[in-house]
Structure 1
């Protein structure tokens, strides 16, 4: 049913047009307006599919009313009606947003066909825009896995600080997933006490959706959400790759960024995370055991047909004091280091022991600035700027509301 608002200041004209429309089963006049102001108020209230708008009305005329409705009730299409056939009137009507222009008196077929054609074209436009918006939104949403096949390289510390930075400095809605299912430390790094974990998510997976996933997440003070690892190592056995896939799909729909701290193995759960990631941050260090493991990781990822641009090599605890040079590492791996995270034992140890990320406690430290550079590898600049502006506007609005 095409819902129509009929706006004309002459009652007899409205009655005649309404009589023609009601001969059609799929058209319905749901309201009438006697002037432009009345048309604006009723359009905002009932949001019709079509407004049949007379151009000459008292108070606010059809041109001005059309401009307001086109701007403030975007889902409504307007067909202008007029006894004037001059091009100037037609041009003005189209400039303010009218979709069609009918010259009075018009015949039954002309009226009905115009209404249906305008509605059909608008429906197609909305479908196209909806598809484009969904695709554009999906492009901006990213899953990033932080991975290493060797422990002790600072993987969890980097994942935690990266997620906190994305949420706090970039204004991106971020969730941090602890997928080290047996010995995850994300909650410890953030001084959080898990009341609910990924085990609960798996148990309730059938009823889980983007609308209720927040009920299963821990909240960090800056707005970051955290999906904690199981409380007991044996609970990891009940979680499989298919369940991880479903969890990622839900989180990806709910959040801008999903940061996954993986386990140090190519397990079914970890491979699922890596497969579903837009980017993989592979953590390396300048010691021979780590370099050997990183080389093996890169070989496995090549065999998995991961494109080279999907993998970002992150050199943690980068220092010139170590005997192995960065060039030696790159030559050995045949892979370039994308970002260097400097060594700073004092800051990182304090951050771990206090459960306070160093990007929060020491935002001006060199290591924190390099986490910001790491975030820049992930974030589209235009997207970040848009989010930053949105956050600023929200703060201003909240301030103004509180002042009132």
Structure 2
């Protein structure tokens, strides 16, 4: 079977050099080169929309590609198209750049000026890796093979703001609507998802931390399949082991999950660590949960500013969710939006702990009744975020019913 190779080279002279050598490789099938980062992503997205099998096995990225820098481009390709192997062509073959390229998701590096032997060796190795990944992806019946799943992180403005409850219910809503969903506890020292869902487990996110290539089989061994259908990747029972999950490990874990599940919801807790910061940076949607009180709102403002300073997330790319909302409170969502400088979700979660107390105490939060105003709001939030798969014809009705061991209702929120 020929190896399809897509060159991404911006310089005209470099295009001729790269394509000439690629055409001489045994069993190689070079495709028309792309000249910038935008064209590369658009081309891969178009092919992936047809089928993962249509994607080239190897993408060769030249160091002078633009406008997105080569390493950033490699990271985007690795995240969105995990079955494609990327080779970086560069004049800097130093150990430092090699390590950086690997951290960003490259499968190999070839030094300039190009050597036929080196290029042939790298292409062959990366092609074999890509074929192996696709074979594994095709082995499971529940494998998501789209361009990449949606990753949502949920962080708390302070401890007890409700991030874990929010993350769990968002994941349950997505799963119940028919989307393969993973729920990850990245609150590594104090994560409580297992307690909320009455789970006894042996494996945790730490078991993936030291693995360089997380195959679908390895990932499947680490997750716990809950009765609701959720795939759970839990925080370690021994909090000190959470230090083993570095930001680099977190990136690899999130990338592996994104390639396998349609929706990935990550509970990052209220304390920022390297792993949580990496997850927030990679997320399609980053939620920050606050309660409408001075201490929590100040905490939300502090978190937003810190994320911005550390270049993790811009304020306008963060969505604040107001929990325990009441019309009687002095601090209302518009004021929170003004203070934090972020968008605020249109769906606010009502203050009604009595609905939650029995299921929280029993560790059965997934059994929260459908008529609960808290559940309806959180599942409405999932709809607002686009996490639920709405059946055709349900867009115009007043209520949508989906399957969650019975019936699940989504009510349209009425303004005013």
TM-score (norm: length of structure 2): 0.58
- 1:198 corresponds to which of 197, 201, 205: 205
Task: After TM superposition, give the deviation of residue 197 of structure 1 in Å.
Answer: 1.1
Task: After TM superposition, give the deviation of residue 149 of structure 1 in Å.
Answer: 3.9
1:357-368 map, 5 Å:
357=365, 360-368=367-375
Task: After TM superposition, give the deviation of residue 300 of structure 1 in Å.
Answer: 2.5
Q: Does 1:276 align with 2:193?
A: no
Counterpart in 2 of 1:130?
A: 47
Counterpart in 2 of 1:88?
A: none
Q: Distance in 2 between matches of 1:325 and 1:128?
A: 41
Q: Distance in 1 between matches of 2:174 and 2:312?
A: 29
**Does structure 1 conserve the Cα–Cα contact (< 8 Å) formed by 2:263 and 2:387?**
no
Q: Does 1:188 align with 2:105?
A: no
Q: Distance in 2 between matches of 1:129 and 1:161?
A: 33
Distance 1:308 1:139, change over 3 A: farther
Counterpart in 2 of 1:291?
A: 297
Deviations 1:42-75 (Å, cap 9, x if unpaired)? Answer: xxxxxxxxxxxxxxxxxxxxxxxxxxxxxxxxxx
Q: Which runs of 5+ in 1 are unaligned?
A: 3-119, 121-125, 396-404
SS in 1 for 2:165: helix
Q: Does 1:356 align with 2:364?
A: yes
Task: After TM superposition, give the deviation of residue 306 of structure 1 in Å.
Answer: 3.1
- 1:155 corresponds to which of 151, 158, 163: 163
**Does structure 1 conserve the Cα–Cα contact (< 8 Å) formed by 2:317 and 2:342?**
no
- 2:261 corresponds to which of 241, 255, 258: 255
SS in 2 for 1:242: helix
Counterpart in 2 of 1:398?
A: none
Distance 1:131 1:290, change over 3 A: same
SS in 2 for 1:271: helix
Distance 1:171 1:132, change over 3 A: closer
SS in 2 for 1:275: helix
Counterpart in 2 of 1:330?
A: 337
Distance 1:208 1:128, change over 3 A: closer
Distance 1:366 1:242, change over 3 A: same
**Does structure 1 conserve the Cα–Cα contact (< 8 Å) formed by 2:158 and 2:296?**
yes
SS in 2 for 1:302: helix
- 2:319 corresponds to which of 312, 323, 328: 312
Counterpart in 2 of 1:64?
A: none
Task: After TM superposition, give the deviation of residue 163 of structure 1 in Å.
Answer: 0.9
1:138-177 map, 5 Å:
141-168=149-176, 170-177=177-184
Counterpart in 1 of 2:244?
A: 238
SS in 1 for 2:323: strand
Task: After TM superposition, give the deviation of residue 199 of structure 1 in Å.
Answer: 1.8
Deviations 1:376-398 (Å, cap 9, x if unpaired)? Answer: 122267x5438x9xxx9xx9xxx
Larger radius of gyration: 1
Q: Distance in 2 between matches of 1:199 and 1:325?
A: 39
The structure with the greater share of residues assigned to helix is: 1
Q: Distance in 1 between matches of 2:312 and 2:190?
A: 29
Q: Distance in 1 between matches of 2:274 and 2:312?
A: 17
Q: Distance in 1 between matches of 2:285 and 2:45?
A: 29
Deviations 1:250-307 (Å, cap 9, x if unpaired)? Answer: 1111101111000322321111001110001110111111111111122223332735
Counterpart in 1 of 2:226?
A: 220
SS in 2 for 1:262: strand
Distance 1:308 1:298, change over 3 A: closer
**Does structure 2 conserve the Cα–Cα contact (< 8 Å) formed by 1:278 and 1:310?**
no
TM-score (norm: length of structure 1): 0.59
Q: Distance in 1 between matches of 2:154 and 2:217?
A: 26
SS in 2 for 1:385: coil
Q: Which runs of 5+ in 2 are unaligned?
A: 3-30, 32-42, 53-79, 82-144, 395-401, 406-416
